[in-house]
């Protein structure tokens, strides 16, 4: 039976209302302005009026000496609670943002269920699994810091 290479769960706490956090996460074209490791985002397709079907090409940097390129497709939106996207490219899987909170504070959970598609990553996965997880956590921590700063300026 196939297994997923990684299921990584990240939690953020924002001193900002859920609507503001939602707007920031819903617009990935803006992420490079506040998320240090997002090198570039291009919109391929805007999707329907709610954003389902939107497709984006991402180029992610990392703390380790490699970068990741992904094509994502938004597969579900429940405003202002959930955004799920399917990813393909260097990694393959699903990422889901879940938001809970009120007008003062928002709790964010991101679940990244992903398989590695690069040959070198698959080859060295048994040895590098802890480094890959550490790297993901570092990239996500930078996102939390950047989003907090971005929301404080808004």
User: Which pLDDT tens digit goes with each residue over 108-142?
Assistant: 999 999 988 888 888 888 888 899 999 999 999 99
Closest by Cα among 12, 9, 27, 7 to 148: 12
What CATH number did the domain enclosing 77 receive? 3.30.530.20
User: Which pLDDT tens digit goes with each residue over 28-42?
Assistant: 999 999 999 999 999
Q: Residue range 74-79: average pLDDT?
A: 97
Query: Would you tell me how many other CB atoms lie within 10 Å of the CB of residue 39?
Result: 16
The answer to the question of residue 55 being in a domain is: yes
Range of the domain at 70: 6-153
Q: Is 13 helix (H, G, I), strand (E, B) or coil?
A: strand
Q: What is the DSSP string of 59-114?
A: EE--SSS--EEEEEEEEEEETTTEEEEEEEESEEEEEEEEEEE-SS-EEEEEEEEE
Q: What is the rounded distance in angstroms from the CA atom of residue 51 to the CA atom of residue 88?
A: 18
The answer to the question of residue 133 being in a domain is: yes
* Total domains present in the chain: 1
Q: What is the rounded distance in angstroms from the CA atom of residue 146 to the CA atom of residue 124?
A: 31
Question: Does the pLDDT at position 1 exceed 70?
Answer: no
The answer to the question of residue 1 being in a domain is: no
């Amino acid at each position: 039976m196939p297994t997923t290479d990684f299921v990584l769960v990240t939690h953020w706490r924002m001193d900002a209302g859920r609507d503001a956090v939602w707007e920031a996460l819903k617009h990935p074209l803006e992420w490079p302005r506040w998320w240090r490791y997002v090198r570039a985002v291009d919109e391929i397709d805007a999707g329907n009026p709610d954003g389902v079907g939107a497709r984006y090409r991402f180029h992610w940097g990392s703390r380790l000496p490699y970068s990741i390129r992904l094509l994502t497709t938004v597969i579900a939106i429940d405003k202002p609670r959930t955004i799920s996207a399917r990813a393909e490219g260097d990694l393959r899987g699903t990422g889901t943002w879940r938001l809970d909170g009120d007008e003062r504070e928002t709790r964010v959970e991101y679940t990244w269920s992903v398989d590695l598609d690069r040959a070198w990553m698959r080859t060295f996965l048994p040895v590098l699994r802890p480094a890959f997880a550490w790297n993901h956590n570092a990239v996500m921590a930078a996102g939390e810091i950047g989003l907090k700063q971005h929301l404080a300026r808004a």
